[in-house]
Amino acid sequence: MAENGQAKPVLVTTDWLAEHLGEDGVIVAEVDENPDLYEEGHIPSAVKLHWRDDLQDPVERDIVDKGTFERLLGERGIGNDTTIVVYGDKNNWFAAYAYWYVKIYGHGDVRILDGGRQKWIDEGREITTDVPSPASTTYKAKERDESIRAYRDQVRGWIGADDRALVDVRSPGEYAGDLIAPPGYEQEGAQRAGHIPTAESIPWASVVKDDGTFKSVDELRELYGSKGVTEEKSVTAYCRIGERSAHTWFVLRELLGYDDVRNYDGSWTEWGNLVDVPISK
């Protein structure tokens, strides 16, 4: 059991990171929704990861293949024994997405900076525009862990199952079908609006406090438990493209210790465009 009752030691504080910056075996990576933020200033020694350009296949709607992933991490100085600390903007929204990607290929020690980029800056800590040049190394990824990922046909078969829970982590407006996509993402929506039948609405942002740090384990258990999303069930989270739901996946699996949690990365851009699938409003 990690600190504060968390299931795994997967969060680090800004104090911890400040003490460990530059240490051998620790690589910090910034992953932002807005990729220009890194160039405006980042935590010293942090490398840049782009959630789409680096981690998604440029042709298929899929994760990069194993060889590309190995080169990506090796070029950034990340070995199999490296502690990776990811952080970013938007309350670590895309940092959690990167965390999930890295876990799919089986990296052991990955952590998230609690509070992310904004907390670091709000505390007046150092940022820099200097781009590090870590020594490249060899990385060997494991085979994909498909147990943490959901696909559309699986999701369709799980609708209404007593031993399963679907969690829609989008905004209430998206869940209700009033919006197809969040404001600012209108060109990235779907043909139809609404939610997957039987899915509970638990917006991803409800798990963090005003300063961007995660709520306590007790608060999180109450939040999900009140909607019937309990640890004895197999849980699948979804959003628009799988990034906000990766944040929820992190909370349920890594912080609360739920055994069976999957992220449906096809999410609403896939489900809302499929022929012959049910939608609720």
**Residues involved in catalysis:** 239
The phi, psi pair for 9, rounded to 5°, reads -80, 70
The 3-state secondary structure of the chain reads CCHHHCCCCCEECHHHHHHHCCCCCEEEEECCCCCCHHHHCECCCCEECCCCCCCECCCCCCECCHHHHHHHHHHCCCCCCCEEEEECHHHHHHHHHHHHHHHHCCCCCEEEECCHHHHHHHCCCCCECCCCCCCCCCCCCCCCCHHHEECHHHHHHHCCCCCEEEEECCCHHHHHCCCCCCCCCHHHCCCCCCECCCCEECCHHHHECCCCCECCHHHHHHHHHCCCCCCCCEEEEECCCCHHHHHHHHHHHHHCCCCCEEEECCHHHHHCCCCCCCCEC
The alpha carbon of 152 is separated from its chain's Cα centroid by a whole number of angstroms, namely: 19
**CA 213 – CA 8 distance, rounded (Å):** 16
Beta-strand pair 149-150/261-264: parallel
